[in-house]
A and B are shown apart, each in its own frame.
Chain A
Amino acid sequence: MLSDFLHMGGYAGYVWSSFGLTAAVLLLNLAGARRQFKQRLAFVRQRAAAEDQT
């Protein structure tokens, strides 16, 4: 039953690689966006803290 599902009627390589690639690209794009946001927010906060001291 499960092996039938994984086999995808002979199209396993095509179907799974399409879904896997899509998941990978969408997750990478999300991770990249979040990393960039966190970096810039940290930069802004650092500067605000530095300005408070002077």
Chain B
Amino acid sequence: MWKLFHQFGSPPHFYRLAGHLIPWFGGAALVLILVATYGGLVLAPADYQQGDGFRIIYVHVPSASMSLFAYTLMAVAAGTGLIWRIKLAHAVAAAVAPIGASFTFLALATGSIWGKPMWGTWWAWDARLTSELILLFLFLGYMSLRAAYDDTGKADRASGLLAVVGVVNVPIIHYSVVWWNSLHQGATIIKLGKPAITGDMLWPLLTMLAGFGCYFATVLMIRTRSQVLQRERNSRWLMDL
């Protein structure tokens, strides 16, 4: 068990393993996203209230879910790095940030595009929207804080602390539609009882979510490998690549 743990935290081992996994996750992401796009745009029936406008859900909800997942992963990785001083964990946290920022931006932008025809406004200072905007600032703040240090170790500690403290925002975003009176609609999938969506609308959504997950894993592994190359640039094992 300890050996496994040690291996997992070992940069050369990760570098090789990720190299093998990237094409598989990348291929799965491509197939899942294409199938989900076809299902969402063509096969799923129009919504009885929102007509074809509801189809924005197929990019909006997976982006928003991934933004929360990305932040949680970044905070856990940064916390692991801070507590057990595992460099690979800091590398993962640093690699998550740009992907998380992209998904957060997409959640905000597609939400805004969806809000215009349905709510009559591009933006409202509402709990869900505001807390998601704060998430974007947390990702951007994390990245600028890292960029401000020349020393990787100092950058890891300072940005790691920000990542861990900022995680309080994640449950706030998730429950914002419950805790506050929000313009935003309630949860569609993760709620007590049955999902508030029929099967032929739901499967493309879940497929897109799986596709975004595989995309996330693919880009995360590429970015973590770049981090490893940067951090281990003086190590012997790199000379044999």
Contacts and interface: CB of A to CB of B under 8 A. Distances in A.
* A, B from the same assembly: yes
Interface of A: 5, 8-11, 14-15, 17-19, 21-22, 25-26, 28-30, 32-34, 36-37, 40-41, 43-45, 47-48, 51
A30 B240 CA distance: 26
Nearest to B47: A9
A9 B229 CA distance: 50
Contacts of A9: 46, 51-53
B219 A14 contact: no
Given A8-B52, A19-B41, A45 B241 contact: yes
A29 B56 contact: no
Nearest to A19: B59
Interface of B: 37, 41-42, 46, 51-53, 55-56, 58-60, 63, 98-99, 102, 105-106, 109-110, 113-114, 116-117, 215, 218-219, 222-223, 225-226, 229-230, 233, 238-241
Nearest to A28: B102
Nearest to B230: A40
Contacts of B117: 11, 14
A26 to B, nearest CB: 6
Interface of B, secondary structure class, is helix
Given A44-B241, A45-B241, A25 B105 contact: yes
Contacts of B52: 8-11, 15
Contacts of A34: 222
A25 B109 CA distance: 11
Contact of B106 (A21, A41, A43): A21
B98 A11 contact: no
Given A14-B114, A30-B218, A33-B226, 18 more contacts: A5-B41, A8-B53, A18-B56, A18-B60, A18-B113, A19-B41, A21-B106, A22-B63, A25-B106, A29-B99, A30-B219, A33-B223, A34-B222, A37-B223, A43-B229, A48-B238, A48-B239, A48-B240
Given A41-B241, A51-B239, A8 B42 contact: no
Contact of B219 (A8, A10, A29, A45): A29
Contact of B229 (A10, A17, A40): A40
A19 B60 CA distance: 9
Contacts of A5: 41-42
